[in-house]
Amino acid sequence: MTAILFLGVFFGLISSGIAYDRGRSAVFWFVFGFLFHILGLIVIFLPRVARAGVNRECSNCKEIIKDKARVCRYCGSSAS
């Protein structure tokens, strides 16, 4: 029982740390990693999906950037 609890905390902390670095909710991903262990790590590494009105794709490097961005943070090109 304590091994399962330890694994839950371990994967929860790793998932929340990765989520925080990627700009996602660390609390949500801690709970997800705690409950689903290794599945939390697999899901957190999936690519981001562009949401209409919030994010868009850079025309130069094809990375996902914020809709209001004037310059792409990845390639530095004008994002207009």
- Token pair 């262990």: residue: 37
Whole-angstrom distance, CA of residue 72 vs CA of residue 34: 34
How is residue 27 written in tokens?
């609390």
Helix (H) / strand (E) containing 55: strand 55-57
Beta bridge partners of 71: 78
| DSSP 3-state of 46 | coil
> What are the tens digits of pLDDT across the range 49-77?
656 667 888 889 988 888 888 999 899 98
Full-model pTM: 0.55
Output the average pLDDT for the chain.
82
The neighbour count for residue 36, using CB atoms within 10 Å, is 16
